Amino acid sequence: MNTYSLFYQFHFYLFGVVAIVAALTFVTRRSPVAAAMWLIVTLFALAAEYIMLDAQFIGAMQVLVYAGAIMVIFLFVIMLLNLGAPSEIADARGLWGKLLGGFAALALVAELGVLSRTGIPSGQYLVSRTFVEDQITRYGAVGAVARPLYRDFSLAFELTSVLLLVAVAGAVMLGRRREPSAG
């Protein structure tokens, strides 16, 4: 197994705790704006985790695309629909809903914990132990992701453009304001 320095481990756990605490705060906020802000904190902590896991490009994408673009869309919609006031939003479900949600969450954690203990052979590398680091040193942080993206997954990459086109067309069509007589 790789050995990690104490500095690395400390920051890995630190950002993990930040992500969990921010996520818990996020699902318990009443105001959508506060919830969005806490979700952004989670996304930033996850970006730090990606960078520590040798995925520098993904970490940068996380900050640019998720925290920068997607969450801004969410905040725009909250602002546009004037949903910022906490009193307007619905509260959480009743006691049964909360119990069901908590139970489902605990069951999922237990299930995934058992799976990660048994299903995945821990420490078994299919590639060489420093494969990702070598790729990044050889091709750079962007090139290491771009080479398999354009070589092995080029068809999926092209299909992604179709998906984005459909999404843009659908968003424009759904967001279009109808004629007052029709509505």
Partner 1 sequence: MLAESLGLSAILFAIGVAGVLTRRNAIIIFMCIELMLNAVNLTFVALSRYYGMAGQVFVVFVMTVAAAEAAVGLAIIISIFRHRQTVDLRNINLLRG
Q: Which residues, at least 6 apart from 58, have a Cβ–Cβ distance to it below 8 Å?
A: 50, 145
149 binds partner 1 (CB under 8 A): yes
CA pair distance 10, 25, nearest whole angstrom: 22
CB of 77 to partner 1, least distance (A): 5
- Choosing from 24, 68, 79, 137, the residue that interacts with partner 1 (CB under 8 A) is 24
With binding defined as CB under 8 A, does residue 101 bind partner 1? yes
CB nearer to partner 1: give 100 or 137: 100
User: What is the full DSSP assignment across 143-178?
Assistant: HHHHHHHHHTSHHHHHHHHHHHHHHHHHHHHHHSPP
10 binds partner 1 (CB under 8 A): no
Residues 27-46 that bind partner 1 (CB under 8 A): 27, 32, 35-36, 39, 42-43, 46
Instruction: State the nearest-atom distance from the C-beta of 7 to partner 1, in Å.
Output: 13
Contacts with partner 1, 107-146, as mask; x by CB under 8 A: -xx--xx--x---x-xxxxxx---xx--x--------xx-
Backbone angles phi and psi of 128, in degrees to 5: -65, 160
47-66 residues near partner 1, rule: CB under 8 A: 49-50, 52-55, 57-58, 61-62, 65-66
Residue 12 sits in the site that holds partner 1 (CB under 8 A): yes
Quote the tokens at residue 142.
């962007």
Residue written as token pair 């132990």:
129
Residue-wise DSSP of 59-93: HHHIIIIIIIIIHHHHHHHHHHTT--STTTS----
By CB under 8 A, residue 6 contacts partner 1: no
Cα(122)–Cα(2) distance, integer angstroms: 12
How many residues contact partner 1, by CB under 8 A? 87
Q: Which of 77, 79, 137, 138 binds partner 1 (CB under 8 A)?
A: 77
Q: Select from 21, 102, 95, 8 the least CA-distant residue to 48.
A: 8
Q: Decide if residue 68 touches partner 1 (CB under 8 A).
A: no
93: contact with partner 1 by CB under 8 A: yes
